Amino acid sequence: MAAKSETNGATAHPVSSKVPAVAHPLAENADEIASNINYHAQFSPHFSPFKFEPEQAYYATAESVRDRLVQQWNETYLHFHKVDPKQTYYLSMEYLQGRALTNAIGNLNIQDAYAGALSKFGHELEEIAEQEKDAALGNGGLGRLASCFLDSMATLNLPAWGYGLRYRYGLFKQRITKEGQEETAEDWIEKFSPWEVVRHDIMFPVRFFGSVEVNPDGSRKWVGGEVVQALAYDVPIPGYKTKNTNSLRLWEAKASAKDFNLFQFNDGQYESAAALHSRAHQICAVLYPGDATENGKLLRLKQQFFLCSASLQDIIIRFKERRHGKESWKWSEFPSKVAVQLNDTHPTLAIPELMRLLLDEEGLGWDEAWDVTTRTIAYTNHTVLPEALEKWSQTVMWKLLPRHMEIIEEIDKRFIALIQATRLDLESKLPSIRILDNNPQKPVVRMANLCVVSAHAVNGVAQLHSDILKSELFADYVSIWPTKFQNKTNGITPRRWLRFCSPELSNIITKWLKTDSWVTNLDLLTGLRQFADNEDLQAEWVSAKMANKQRLVQYILQVTGVSIDPNSLFDIQVKRIHEYKRQLLNILGAIYRYKILKEISPEERKKTTPRTIMIGGKAFATYTNAKRIVRLVNDVGAVVNNDPEVNDYLKVVFVPNYNVSVAEILIPGSELSQHISTAGMEASGTSNMKFALNGCLIIGTLDGANVEIREEIGEENFFLFGATADEVPRLRKERENGLFKPDPQFEEAKQFIRSGVFGSYDYNPLLESLEGNSGYGRGDYFLVGYDFCTYMEAQAKVDEVYRNRKRWAKMSILSTAGSGKFSSDRTISQYAKEIWNIEECRIP
């Protein structure tokens, strides 16, 4: 730390006498890097002088790394501009980037140099990295997948670009109190982010409301309403050990000075004077604002359109710039240079917006504009849940986007004509497969249907999910366009999710494989299989896992005050809190375990497998049952962890404010992970892949990517339970008809909650959802009761296997060895070849 000055208590400037403050933007060695850090501390100041505490050191260090990235970034952009390759543009409402500092210096392969540079100031790299706040641009797997994909696109040297929104307050920051979850605004850019570069020259108008003007020649124009400006903020996305550095462009909504009414302001009408500024500010304030009111629905729709319109205007401008100087070009070339991928239904409005821009702004005819649009757009489906397949009120759409509703009506009309002309056998199904649902009580636009009708490719994200899409959700469309539908099993980046978050385990893998090439070719992990029985490897493996467990022990103590035993089995479930993900099944199992521990003798307890159950994730602010589950986990933990009879054998911990940085501590320290959704309801999951890659064993159902993980790592290394997807409809029907006889253990667990042992809170509404009155109007829709018995049997098997530590170590090694398929590099290579038709464009 910097020394105190003798005058006025200020601190002297950071070891400036030892380290010269000299700009070295492309520094390689620790001395030059230290000089560059000191240069930024003095000449890019964001704080009062004379301070160089960890926070100031973080910002100066980040700006030093950014210097290096900007050089590569500019070279990448210029190279793409010169070569003019076909480029992918990934549109997503969410990105969960995690901390950028460790990722950037890891991908640039300069960790040691930066650690050495910071040591000259008396700081450790790990301590400085912890000053960074996670960018609050996403919530769950959808956003983390998008970020893994960006990492792989850059690492594979693919010409690609991400587009999103720059949310100031994120979804929310989760606080846990005695009342359960509380939501407060995220403060990730309360100061500023050193990783983003505002592009003041890149700004596009985005219109809302207004009307459609018909010109004498029959052409149409959207006019009036209100217009806000979309300002670009760019974040560099470096590839691993490559110069290619791609962009994530985030849009901020602004109003201009001319939209400020000085007369009204001076007249004391302060709010009216800045009304458009206020409305623009709302657009990028919060991820997924509550939509129970019409204003909430309008704001969500505004967000989605704002992303689509700004991004497409940017894409078209870039396409035209790269045509500049060419004597003749046609719009039919656009799909040979541009691939747009919609990450779920949130960016669906890109379809009518691209049509509008081509029709109204560029003067194309319908057929030509439709051909360009359909060959450009591809759609990834992420869910079979009815509530997540967006449907927007036609009334709200006509109000906000009148020209787009005209275009959607025309797409719908032409789709109906196609069916009536070519597929009379499907005419009776038109009410459900057309885009517009004209139910007079509640007319809506079905966004998933619009995507499927308009995109040239539609993909699911795990084999089981894609099969369900083809056989159930989109079966009729498959019969019309059989070649349109594909599977692209999700993946994760091995850089963030093993190489950087678990260096101890990574070094052991590199040592035994005699290469670190696995970091970009994850299939090489299969080479570990031949050593799975080797006692030396097992000892090293267990030691690395223990180091990660010890790190997690410290973290849990720091954030929850709960002391956990590193020798207990670490059992972790972290993901968005939702009834279909069945955190409720997990906590009911923990409750039953606690009940049994209370009933058996102290001698019998000593024979049990000690376990620490950790659950984390955010419940959406208006999702009452999910918030009840969070409260239940905390209430159970408060009782169990303070019970001296059993707390040596069982702890239950709720990990607050789960995000990427928390995951980077939890996942390497985990030994068992729960992926226990009702079969057929999880599209894929990617946290299951992260856990498996880190040598964690999975207890789970045959759902999402669990199916493929189990195939890859071996059935004997996976703890399977529960109904299968094809059994679920029948079981729900039986449950509805009162034919289900619950397991006595299940009834005991519920009764234990009702007894008041975990406090006086009324859990009856939550327990009734397991009986006869769930939010879906049918009891136990997610089959918690049906699966409880086999779940407890699988957990007993876990306890038994864990007692044989050699066997567990071997299974752990085989879990990592079988994870090669789940690299996002493989997924992105498949997208590039089979959907986008783009190729490597490496910076020379």
Question: pLDDT (tens digit, 9 = 90+) per residue, 379-428?
Answer: 999 988 777 789 999 999 999 999 999 999 999 999 999 999 999 999 99
CA atoms of 781 and 768, how far apart (whole Å): 11
Token digits for 207?
């219109």
H-type alpha helices, 469-618: 475-480, 494, 503-513, 535-560, 583-599, 602-606
pLDDT (tens digit per residue) in 664-681: 999 999 999 999 999 999
pLDDT (tens digit per residue) in 576-586: 999 999 999 99
CA atoms of 172 and 184, how far apart (whole Å): 5
Q: Mean pLDDT, the chain, as a whole number?
A: 94
CA atoms of 378 and 329, how far apart (whole Å): 24
Q: Summarize the confidence of residues 139-160 as an average pLDDT.
A: 96
Q: Map residue 253 onto helix, strand or coil.
A: strand
pLDDT (tens digit per residue) in 205-240: 999 999 999 999 989 999 999 999 999 999 999 999
pLDDT of residue 774: 43
pLDDT confidence of 588, banded at 50, 70, 90?
A: very high
Helix axes 402-422, 447-454, angle to 10 degrees: 60
Which H helix or E strand runs over 776?
none
Q: Summarize the confidence of residues 536-549 as an average pLDDT.
A: 98
CA atoms of 513 and 552, how far apart (whole Å): 27
Q: Tokens 């704002």 belong to which residue?
A: 306
Asked if 102 and 129 touch (Cβ cutoff 8 Å), the reply is yes
Asked if 690 and 492 touch (Cβ cutoff 8 Å), the reply is yes
pLDDT of residue 479: 96
pLDDT confidence of 726, banded at 50, 70, 90?
A: very high
**pLDDT for 13 beyond 80:** no
Token digits for 219?
């052409």
CA atoms of 59 and 42, how far apart (whole Å): 12
Token digits for 732?
């729900």
Asked if 21 and 35 touch (Cβ cutoff 8 Å), the reply is yes
CA atoms of 627 and 619, how far apart (whole Å): 6
CB atoms within 10 A of CB 729: 11
Q: Summarize the confidence of residues 259-288 as an average pLDDT.
A: 91
> Rounded to 5 degrees, what are φ and ψ at 471?
-90, -20
Asked if 172 and 289 touch (Cβ cutoff 8 Å), the reply is no
The β-bridge partners of 507 are: none
Please give the distance of CA 728 from its chain centroid, rounded to a whole number. Answer: 27
CB atoms within 10 A of CB 326: 9
pLDDT confidence of 778, banded at 50, 70, 90?
A: low
Where does residue 76 rank: exposed (0-12), middle (13-18), buried (19+ CB within 10 A)? buried
pLDDT of residue 772: 57
Q: What is the DSSP string of 21-69?
A: ----TT--SHHHHHHHHHHHHHHS--S-TT--SHHHHHHHHHHHHHHHH
The β-bridge partners of 245 are: 238
pLDDT (tens digit per residue) in 737-759: 888 888 999 999 999 999 999 99
CA atoms of 686 and 345, how far apart (whole Å): 19
Query: pTM of the predicted model, to two decimals?
Result: 0.95
For residue 495, give the amino acid letter: R
Domain ranges for the chain, please list them. 88-98+134-490+830-836, 548-822
Q: Summarize the confidence of residues 486-511 as an average pLDDT.
A: 97
**pLDDT for 1 beyond 60:** no
**pLDDT for 15 beyond 70:** no
pLDDT of residue 738: 82
CA atoms of 245 and 151, how far apart (whole Å): 9
Q: Say which residues have a Cβ less than 8 Å from residue 156's Cβ, sequence separation at least 6.
A: 239, 825, 828, 829, 832, 840
Count of positions (residues) in the chain: 844
> Rounded to 5 degrees, what are φ and ψ at 596?
-65, -45
Q: Which of 335, 286, 314 is nearest to 163 (CA)?
A: 314
pLDDT of residue 44: 87
For residue 375, give the amino acid letter: R
| CATH code of the region 548-822 | 3.40.50.2000
The count of C-alpha atoms lying within 13 angstroms of the C-alpha of 571, restricted to the half-sphere facing its C-beta, is 25
Active site residues: 382, 575-576, 581, 686, 690
CA atoms of 41 and 57, how far apart (whole Å): 7
3-state DSSP helix/strand/coil % of the chain, to nearest 5: 50, 15, 35
CB atoms within 10 A of CB 530: 11
pLDDT confidence of 777, banded at 50, 70, 90?
A: very low
Where does residue 804 rank: exposed (0-12), middle (13-18), buried (19+ CB within 10 A)? exposed
Q: Tokens 């504009």 belong to which residue?
A: 369
Q: Which of 103, 123, 155 is nearest to 33 (CA)?
A: 123
pLDDT of residue 4: 37
Asked if 403 and 220 touch (Cβ cutoff 8 Å), the reply is yes
Q: Say which residues have a Cβ less than 8 Å from residue 413's Cβ, sequence separation at least 6.
A: none
Assess whether the region 88-98+134-490+830-836 and the region 548-822 belong to the same CATH fold. yes
pLDDT of residue 48: 83
Torsion of CA 538, 543, 545, 547, to 10 degrees: -170
Identify the weakest region by mean pLDDT among 9-13, 225-229, 250-254.
9-13
**pLDDT for 18 beyond 60:** yes
| CATH code of the region 88-98+134-490+830-836 | 3.40.50.2000
pLDDT of residue 17: 58
Antiparallel, parallel or unpaired: β 226-238 and 245-254: antiparallel
pLDDT (tens digit per residue) in 428-465: 999 999 999 999 999 999 999 999 999 999 999 999 99
